[in-house]
Structure 1
């Protein structure tokens, strides 16, 4: 066989060049170049991951608020569940009772009654002192009417009828939430001239019927106009409405975009576990910032509402009721972030993390061997669990994450429940893996 012929290809018409052997000098020159290229590639990935993480963290608070706005506006049951506690709040009931009582008493002309009584006494020849005494009945009669009306109105507002009317009115007028956020349309709750007002027309109608039945014929003259209570007054309501419109539009896609950016940041980073831990810590910090912002905004809102428009306790109750689901979601994400960061750290090489893993493995191994000594052996099942421990652990974690995703508005309690179940399953699987028979244990 001709070696020269074997080195050439049939189509080349000549012999191929022999492979060049890399010398020590060339290798010494090549290795630094390859190392520099690897460093540049790693730094590029790190820079890209950092940029994605920064965008995700900046969008996280807005995504939570947008999801809350979208959820409250689009889901009637959720909206009714949000405002329903206001009907049973004592401070709000007191405001409603006082406003309706004042408007009813204003329509009862007490002075006309006392004047008519004085004229009747004068016509019957009563002494002047008696006629003058009739005028002195104006204040007591006014107080008596106010007391009776307040008692009747208070019973209506504190009863089940008011709560049912409140829920029914809010369910039928669910579009009122959109009115507050966009400033458009009409409804039970609407924005007017920098203020958010609540229409109590249905409640006034019920009170008017009760008063007429109780003998207050003058109550039938209660006008149908001016039956609103101011809930919010703010000079910046217009800007807030514009912001809420934008958040309503982005309510669906902004949370998805935030999650995608966070996932890409973890996937792009050279050290996935470290980036996951950083992402979780950053998300937790942003949720804490959002809670602080809500507290500051609450203070600003309470300071902006004059006591003549709404008492401070009622204003606080209204604010806390409207944003309680937003607070719950923020706290839930804060807890999830802390748990994720802790789990990512425990999978790392740190000395405390190794100590925790070693202790857990020691306990589960002892429990599994105790089962083996009691005659309970998992055999091949235990061997498979040992061989595929990483897969089973990942499957349990994925199932727990999926449960939280599919959970309808998870709370901190729901997170604690899912976490407890996941840890219990992992412990049971570890014990079953350690409970393999003697032959299987020797093989392991």
Structure 2
């Protein structure tokens, strides 16, 4: 009975590893504005994301300027200025400000049920571009109004279900990882052969890590396949990869810890048998 109980606990540990990682990620990564902004910040240098920002901001800016017969030249100047601006520290600062605002809107959607997409307001970017253009003496740049321009990078259906699921993950964000560790310790404690139990628990952790990695990849494919045609898929893929970077790192860390524990227990057994 002790062996059976230990095996059941190890199986539970393997199943709880992905659930624990996702719960902790939802509570401490997605739910925290500073961590969210830090995760999204490197996307300011991503070419696919930059193309979306430049294209959308260019359309918004050109539509706000009536340059008459000089419209074509002004639009070309705006495009060049935006692409040049996308590589500056000022752009990265504006990008971080836009993502912090997007995080606030995202959490508001999950708590109030308003909205159906993850969007980024490019108003801070447009404001920075305007004053860069004015400083460079670009004609008509002072006429650019700073308006709110939301770029949709993720869209989600059935927001009510998503809101309930996110709330459950936040509640489980602390106790579920602790429960996983407690069950792993219990599986070793109740076993008749504890060295074998350590080895089996390590393999269980490794299996759980593999399940987590598979889940992240499958969800990526499903998310991108369900996107509307007007959303840039390379940019959305970059956003997904940034948001789930913690889960990918967790996959490799747990896999390494599990395999190291299993290997250590196996080597201890071999050493004890050596005369």
- The interval holding the TM-score normalised by the smaller chain is 0.7 to 0.9
**Closer, same or farther in 2 for the Cα pair 1:177/1:280, shift >3 Å?**
farther
Query: Across the two proteins, how many residue pairs are aligned to each other?
Result: 274
Counterpart position of 1:145: 74
Deviation of 1:257 after TM superposition, in Å, equals: 0.8
Q: What stretches of structure 1 of length at least 5 have no aligned partner? A: 1-43, 115-140, 185-190, 362-444
Alpha-carbon distance between aligned partners in 2 of 1:72 and 1:58, rounded to the nearest angstrom:
21
Deviation of 1:87 after TM superposition, in Å, equals: 1.2
- 1:397-408 alignment, distance < 5 Å: none
SS of aligned partner of 1:252: helix
**Closer, same or farther in 2 for the Cα pair 1:338/1:179, shift >3 Å?**
farther
Counterpart position of 2:221: 299
- 1:164-313 alignment, distance < 5 Å: 164-170=93-99, 175-176=104-105, 178-179=107-108, 182-184=110-112, 193-213=115-135, 214-217=137-140, 220-222=143-145, 224-225=147-148, 227-309=149-231, 311-313=232-234
Alpha-carbon distance between aligned partners in 2 of 1:146 and 1:177, rounded to the nearest angstrom:
32
- Residues 1:94 and 2:51 aligned together: yes
**Closer, same or farther in 2 for the Cα pair 1:217/1:147, shift >3 Å?**
closer
Give the alignment's TM-score, normalised by structure 1: 0.56
Return 169-178 or 328-337, whichever deviates more: 169-178
Alpha-carbon distance between aligned partners in 1 of 2:10 and 2:207, rounded to the nearest angstrom:
13
Alpha-carbon distance between aligned partners in 2 of 1:220 and 1:270, rounded to the nearest angstrom:
79
Alpha-carbon distance between aligned partners in 1 of 2:102 and 2:237, rounded to the nearest angstrom:
23
> 2:6, 2:191 within 8 Å by CA — same for their partners in 1?
yes
Deviation of 1:104 after TM superposition, in Å, equals: 1.1
SS of aligned partner of 1:250: helix
Give the alignment's TM-score, normalised by structure 2: 0.88
Deviation of 1:160 after TM superposition, in Å, equals: 0.8
Counterpart position of 2:235: 314
Q: Which 4+ stretches in 1 moved above 6 angstroms?
A: none
Counterpart position of 2:17: 60
Once the two structures are superposed, what CA deviation does each residue of 1:123-143 show, in whole Å capped at 9, x if it has no partner?
xxxxxxxxxxxxxxxxxx544
Pairwise CA RMSD of aligned residues?
2.6
Question: Greater relative contact order (Cα 8 A, min sep 6): structure 1 or 2?
Answer: 2
